[in-house]
């Protein structure tokens, strides 16, 4: 049993941990890939990055790297579609008609 409060905090820069999945060369390739395919999804970008560099990373890693690189998403322009006039649906007829009354 240790004594409470005697552990010293280790600065973040000196902590051991996992190494980054993407190095600087991968991030440069990622930026070039996004410049070529501006409207690609994260899945498409991560698959293309795997094809080009051989590094397989999940979409969350790609998202973090893209945000850290300062790249923002460009949404595609949507063209306005002219709406066709809506015809009211013919309601079912209830009750008797003049033909029914003449019988």
Residue 100 three-state SS: helix
Mean pLDDT of 70-81: 76
Phi/psi for 26 (5° steps) reads -65, -40
The ranges assigned to domains in the chain are 21-72
Mean pLDDT of 72-95: 74
Q: Between these two residues, 99 and 63, which has the higher pLDDT value?
A: 63
Q: What is the DSSP letter of 13?
A: G
Secondary-structure breakdown of the chain: helix, strand, coil percentages, each rounded to the nearest 5: 40, 0, 60
Residue 89 three-state SS: coil
In this structure, the number of other CB atoms found within 10 A of the CB of residue 56 comes to 12
């Amino acid at each position: 049993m240790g004594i409470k409060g005697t552990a010293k905090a280790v600065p973040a820069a000196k902590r051991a941990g996992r190494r980054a999945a993407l190095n600087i060369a991968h991030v440069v390739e990622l930026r070039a890939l996004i410049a070529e395919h501006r409207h690609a999804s994260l899945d498409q970008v991560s698959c293309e990055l795997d094809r080009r560099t051989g590094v397989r990373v999940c979409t969350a890693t790609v998202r973090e790297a893209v945000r850290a690189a300062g790249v923002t998403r460009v949404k595609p322009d949507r063209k306005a579609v002219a709406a066709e006039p809506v015809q009211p649906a013919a309601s079912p007829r209830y009750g008797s008609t003049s033909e029914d009354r003449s019988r």
